[in-house]
Structure 1
Amino acid sequence: MNGIADLPAALPPAPARVVGADGQPALGRFAGALQGCDWERLARPHARSGLWRRLHNKRWHYVALATERIFCAVAIVDLGWMSSCFGYAFDRGDGDMLANFSEDGLPGRLSVAVADGPGGTSRFRRRATHIEIGPEALTLRCPWLQIEARFGPAPAPPLLATGLIRGGSVHATQKSGGLPLTGEVRTWREEYRLDGGVASCDLSNGLLARETAWRWASAHALDVGFNLQAGYFGACENAVWLDGALYPLGPARFIVDRKDVLAPWHIFTEDDCLDLIFTPDAARRENRDLKIAASRYVQPLGTFSGWVRGTPEQPKRTIERLAGVTEDHFARW
């Protein structure tokens, strides 16, 4: 699953369920919506005990909002034995990080509910922080930031990627292309309209290994966008959206100075379909060591310039200062 050769120009439609009637997962990349994971229905060799699934099932729902003036990101995370959320808002005009927060919650539905598919709703509620991510809306209320955002309908199909995880079992992720955006962000300084911007969503659910690491890149306009990952999921979720069409991409390479993640990143794919320079403007960082668990995380936000195309035979599409993020993350969970 992690090495890809002779990639097709089009993806098959998403299966009705990730786990089939025979207990075997539908593995691959598909165009269409995730309809639920049902990991308890897995049969050998992928089946695991209920306790193992509880400790290894990691789920998150992430939304990015981008306009010419502001970039925001919000995530809800369920690790099984605990939950958390984060959010930030960055003024792209003057380079000011207007808000940047994270909060831990209680395990399970005491604080968090992560949707089983894009038609569901994810929620985080803890103290004064309330977040709700639905199929077409994001609402956030906390002491540092307020967001009312509406997005969609999608001009292009989402990507559903499923694959086997070394040291774990099976993982599934749903990535959207660019979504039309409206709404408002309220910060301590001023209010920002989101109308005319672009949203993108990441909904992931997997039985992951105790130690998991990845690099990630994502950026979207309405007519072009991409999602790239190198690490625990190989090339499974690598894709580009072009003019309403969704194309799979080959393995991605990230060239980055880990001592200075705010220096430019060079990112390209081995199939000669993408070559970009990412220029960071700021970064969200978190370095936590809870002894039984740890996380080393940095998510720079900035702009991508270079070119992309759906297949090696297509002409190159120029990308100029497309807003998005990269990520370098190690987790022991």
Structure 2
Amino acid sequence: MQPLIQANGQPRLGVFDVPPAQVNYRDYDLRSPMGRRLGALARWRRFHQFQYFGLISDQLIGGCALANLSLLGVGFVYLFQPATGRLLERRFKLPLGLGCEFSQNPQQGVCQLRWRGNLLRLENQAVGAEKHLRVELDDGTQIDASFSEAQPPFQPMCIATPIANNGWAYAQKVAGVTCSGQVRSALGNFDLQALQAFAHHDWTAGFLRPQTCWNWACLSGAVGGRRLGLNLSCGVNETSFSENCLWLDGRLYPVSGVHFQFDRRQPLQPWQIRSQDGQVELRFEPAGMHHERVNALIVASDFRQLFGRFHGVLRPAGETVVPLQGQWGFVEDQYVKW
């Protein structure tokens, strides 16, 4: 494994079979749009990073994210119980990321937020290709969840794309893996393995556009006795290369560009998602939403992550059609200025 930034100060770009050893952004030769070399302060200000761990089962759905926006550290966690419609949420915003820690190694390291007795911790371990989520909140909520990409074998999506004329993004994504662990909350106590829960994971970092937006869709579960994962995005990571893909039993199948059709003013109405190559034809019916809004002048974000059910078909190349009949998953609508 090699670091992402090469000796000439430029990133390696493309879709990788092996993740980089380090996203060594401090070695990047950052320039202004007109070619003027920028220093360490500009690299710190422009570099952003986030990591996300999601849980899916018929009985419990959850998500936890951490983001380093240079001027602001952001974290959230939520749990949703489909049977009752109950939603538990907590949000954290820490100026200058005080109380936050972010590793630049997507395979080995810790990203975490600590604030007044609350802990959100995402730990990645190279041994066994394991991902761990640990949440401890002052209201008694606890989450301890993990999965492995090694047993059974799984092929992650690892991609680096150019952005504008002076930026890039690296993303490493996983969906369609079984998950184990425990959840204790006001919704009850849950054994994730007993729930037959699945997980998905996103590690993204880079020099993105100062103002950007994207849509995203993801699901993890079992269909017809096979492990299924889906990762679709529009707006980021599609310059020259695309992160769009699906997984069957850990094998990755690339997908072309996708179109998200929905009403931004009424996001809880159904969404339509289709790919240009015909592999994806889905209808998403939201059941609930986690909404984050930050407006701090220099930094702003309007983030909606919706959880609900997918209906439709997937047509992976060389495989039989995979019908979706109410599989739980996520979609996202995000605007950000950073």
Do these two structures clear the TM 0.5 threshold for a shared fold by scoring above it? yes
SS in 2 for 1:102: strand
Structure 1 residues 167, 102: closer, same or farther in 2, change over 3 A?
Answer: farther
Q: 137, 142, 158: which is aligned to 1:142?
A: 137
Matching residue of 2:127: none
Structure 1 residues 180, 115: closer, same or farther in 2, change over 3 A?
Answer: farther
State the alpha-carbon separation in 1 of the partners of residues 51 and 331 from structure 2: 17
Matching residue of 1:100: 89
Contact in 2 for aligned 1:56/1:168 (Cα 8 Å): no
Q: Does 1:321 align with 2:326?
A: yes
State the alpha-carbon separation in 2 of the partners of residues 36 and 316 from structure 1: 38
Following superposition, the deviation at residue 219 of structure 1 comes to 0.9
SS in 1 for 2:202: strand
Following superposition, the deviation at residue 102 of structure 1 comes to 0.6
Q: 224, 229, 248: which is aligned to 1:225?
A: 229
Kindly provide the CA deviation profile for residues 26-47 of structure 1, in whole angstroms up to 9, marking residues without a partner as x. Answer: 2122233342211222347797
State the alpha-carbon separation in 1 of the partners of residues 84 and 92 from structure 2: 27
Structure 1 residues 164, 76: closer, same or farther in 2, change over 3 A?
Answer: same
Q: Which amino acid aligns with 2:2?
A: A
Higher RCO by CA contacts (8 Å cutoff, separation 6 or greater): 1
State the alpha-carbon separation in 2 of the partners of residues 233 and 253 from structure 1: 14
Matching residue of 1:90: 80
Q: Which amino acid aligns with 1:138?
A: L
State the alpha-carbon separation in 1 of the partners of residues 262 and 103 from structure 2: 32
State the alpha-carbon separation in 1 of the partners of residues 164 and 180 from structure 2: 40
State the alpha-carbon separation in 1 of the partners of residues 166 and 328 from structure 2: 33
Q: 309, 330, 333: which is aligned to 2:335?
A: 330
Structure 1 residues 232, 31: closer, same or farther in 2, change over 3 A?
Answer: same
Matching residue of 1:55: 45
Structure 1 residues 292, 92: closer, same or farther in 2, change over 3 A?
Answer: same
Q: 143, 152, 164: which is aligned to 1:166?
A: 164
State the alpha-carbon separation in 2 of the partners of residues 150 and 171 from structure 1: 26
State the alpha-carbon separation in 2 of the partners of residues 192 and 139 from structure 1: 15
Q: Which amino acid aligns with 2:68?
A: D
User: Any gaps of 5 or more consecutive residues in structure 2?
Assistant: 125-130
Q: Does 1:126 align with 2:128?
A: no
User: Any gaps of 5 or more consecutive residues in structure 1?
Assistant: 1-14
Following superposition, the deviation at residue 244 of structure 1 comes to 2.4
Matching residue of 2:302: 296
Following superposition, the deviation at residue 16 of structure 1 comes to 2.7
Q: Which amino acid aligns with 1:149?
A: A
Q: Does 1:152 align with 2:148?
A: yes
State the alpha-carbon separation in 2 of the partners of residues 307 and 275 from structure 1: 6
Contact in 2 for aligned 1:156/1:245 (Cα 8 Å): yes
Contact in 1 for aligned 2:30/2:166 (Cα 8 Å): no
Contact in 1 for aligned 2:155/2:252 (Cα 8 Å): yes
- 152-161 or 77-86, which deviates more: 152-161
Matching residue of 1:200: 200
Following superposition, the deviation at residue 292 of structure 1 comes to 1.8
State the alpha-carbon separation in 1 of the partners of residues 104 and 176 from structure 2: 20
Q: 178, 181, 188: which is aligned to 1:190?
A: 188
- 82-91 or 280-289, which deviates more: 280-289
Matching residue of 1:3: none
Structure 1 residues 143, 129: closer, same or farther in 2, change over 3 A?
Answer: same
State the alpha-carbon separation in 1 of the partners of residues 298 and 28 from structure 2: 28
CA RMSD of aligned residues (A): 2.0
State the alpha-carbon separation in 2 of the partners of residues 267 and 283 from structure 1: 18
Contact in 1 for aligned 2:23/2:104 (Cα 8 Å): no
Structure 1 residues 142, 249: closer, same or farther in 2, change over 3 A?
Answer: same
Q: Which amino acid aligns with 1:28?
A: G
Q: Which amino acid aligns with 1:286?
A: E
State the alpha-carbon separation in 2 of the partners of residues 106 and 36 from structure 1: 26
Matching residue of 1:9: none
State the alpha-carbon separation in 2 of the partners of residues 152 and 210 from structure 1: 34
Contact in 1 for aligned 2:229/2:246 (Cα 8 Å): yes
Following superposition, the deviation at residue 281 of structure 1 comes to 0.5
Q: 285, 289, 300: which is aligned to 1:283?
A: 289
Kindly provide the CA deviation profile for residues 263-318 of structure 1, in whole angstroms up to 9, marking residues without a partner as x. Answer: 1110011111111111110001122211222111111111212122332x543221
